[in-house]
């Protein structure tokens, strides 16, 4: 366990910190944080995999869809990706844009991790890309803000209902090991979240409270004068959160491609994620002038975006050919058992009055 985390806990009131404080240190501390460290995190040699690392088809499809939107709605061709990771999505998007679309494009990457900034620069040397550390550093523009698995990695608070009372789950340290301790919930921000979201916990239910989501949505809206916000992530609606299967919450760790239930293990060495509150994301968006166009499963989004047109019509007996590899990648993104069924895509707008049919016009 790193020295900073020990110091943070020992110097906190009652020597306890919130889960959000723990995640902030374990994931984002400039020296000890998992995302900030100079080590591979994505892919076979890392701890998890993302859609854009399966194939370049995802990034290429997004480029074509964005180009269509720019032409159809007269949207300015400015694309801002928040949390670009190793840059694989950006590379595929930019390759497709320069090979087939060829119109002027401004591509902005918002990335706080120095390690990922370095990987992006190495991968995108042939393209013109603007890198910034925070969305708050982006001057207001017209275009699109895109993120993939951004909100699931934001720090969250954790609460639990015991004997009819609400408690916040805090973290302490004892004999050099982290442990949980429940304290009576008094935090006004969490109580307001429960009131605003209409979330009512059942007995013994535990859930994550995404207070950082509101700040992120506000900063995204402030960066966008006119355009769209596209959020790809996994999460639940309010109704789905009430399913008994969610009683223990969704906070999980990913370490060397193994899911770890106890996120207090391997601090600074393990990815920590949570399923997001989709209804709250949409609600917070509407409060900052980001009106919902649609929410789709990722496979539905890709089908509506025209991914089947990318599927080669001819059969290639060589399973190792580029055509066969590409076709398998496409099928993996749209099959009922594929990765896309776990993700949703939320599309919001500012300064437009579009519906779902408008953004997917052939």
CATH fold for the domain made of 35-154+212-234+275-359: Rossmann fold (3.40.50)
Structure tokens of 154?
A: 């934001």
List the domain boundaries for the chain: 1-32+157-209+239-274, 35-154+212-234+275-359
pTM of the model: 0.91
pLDDT at 49: 57
* Tens-digit pLDDT string for the chain (362 aa): 578 888 999 999 999 999 999 999 999 988 888 888 776 645 455 544 566 666 788 999 999 999 999 999 999 999 999 999 999 999 999 999 999 998 999 999 999 999 899 999 999 999 999 999 999 999 999 999 999 999 999 999 999 999 999 999 999 999 889 999 999 999 999 999 999 999 999 999 999 999 999 999 999 999 999 999 999 999 999 999 999 999 999 999 988 878 899 999 989 889 999 999 999 999 999 999 999 999 999 999 998 998 888 776 556 677 777 777 777 777 777 777 777 778 999 999 999 999 999 999 76
- Given the structure tokens 């993996």, which residue do they identify? 332
**CA separation, residue 211 to residues 83, 92, 192, 262 (Å):** 19, 33, 10, 22
pLDDT at 47: 47
How many whole angstroms separate alpha carbon 38 and alpha carbon 20? 23
**CA separation, residue 86 to residues 91, 121, 216 (Å):** 10, 9, 21
59's enclosing H/E stretch is helix 57-73
How many whole angstroms separate alpha carbon 327 and alpha carbon 126? 27
């Amino acid at each position: 366990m790193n020295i900073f985390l020990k110091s943070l806990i020992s110097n906190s009131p009652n020597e306890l910190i919130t889960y959000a404080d723990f995640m902030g240190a374990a994931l984002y501390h400039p020296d000890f944080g998992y995302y900030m460290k100079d080590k591979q995190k994505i892919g076979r040699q890392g701890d998890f995999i993302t859609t854009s690392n399966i194939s370049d088809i995802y990034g290429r499809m997004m480029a074509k869809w964005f180009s269509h939107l720019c032409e159809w709605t007269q949207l300015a061709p400015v694309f801002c990706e928040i949390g670009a990771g190793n840059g694989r999505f950006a590379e595929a998007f930019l390759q497709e844009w320069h090979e087939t679309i060829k119109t002027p494009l401004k591509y902005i990457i918002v990335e706080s991790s120095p390690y990922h900034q370095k990987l992006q620069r190495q991968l995108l040397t042939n393209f013109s890309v603007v890198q910034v550390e925070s969305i708050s550093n982006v001057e207001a523009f017209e275009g699109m803000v895109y993120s993939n698995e951004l909100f699931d990695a934001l720090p969250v608070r954790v609460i639990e209902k015991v004997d009819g009372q609400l408690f916040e789950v805090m973290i302490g340290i004892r004999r050099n090991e982290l442990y949980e301790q429940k304290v009576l919930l008094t935090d006004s921000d969490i109580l307001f979240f429960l009131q605003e979201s209409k979330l009512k916990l059942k007995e013994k239910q535990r859930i994550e409270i995404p207070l950082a989501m509101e700040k992120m949505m506000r900063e995204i809206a402030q960066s966008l004068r006119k355009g769209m916000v596209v959020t790809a992530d996994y999460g639940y609606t309010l109704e789905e959160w009430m399913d008994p299967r969610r009683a223990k919450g969704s906070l999980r760790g990913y370490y060397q491609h193994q899911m770890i239930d106890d996120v207090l293990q391997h601090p600074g060495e393990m990815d920590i994620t949570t399923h997001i509150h989709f209804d709250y994301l949409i609600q917070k968006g509407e409060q900052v002038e980001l009106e919902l166009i649609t929410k789709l499963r990722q496979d539905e989004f890709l089908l509506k975006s025209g991914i089947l047109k990318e599927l080669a019509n001819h059969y290639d007996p060589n399973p190792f050919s580029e055509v066969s590899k590409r076709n398998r990648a496409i099928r993996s993104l749209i099959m009922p058992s594929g990765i896309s069924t776990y993700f949703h895509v939320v599309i919001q707008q500012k300064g437009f009055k579009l519906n779902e049919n408008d953004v997917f016009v052939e």
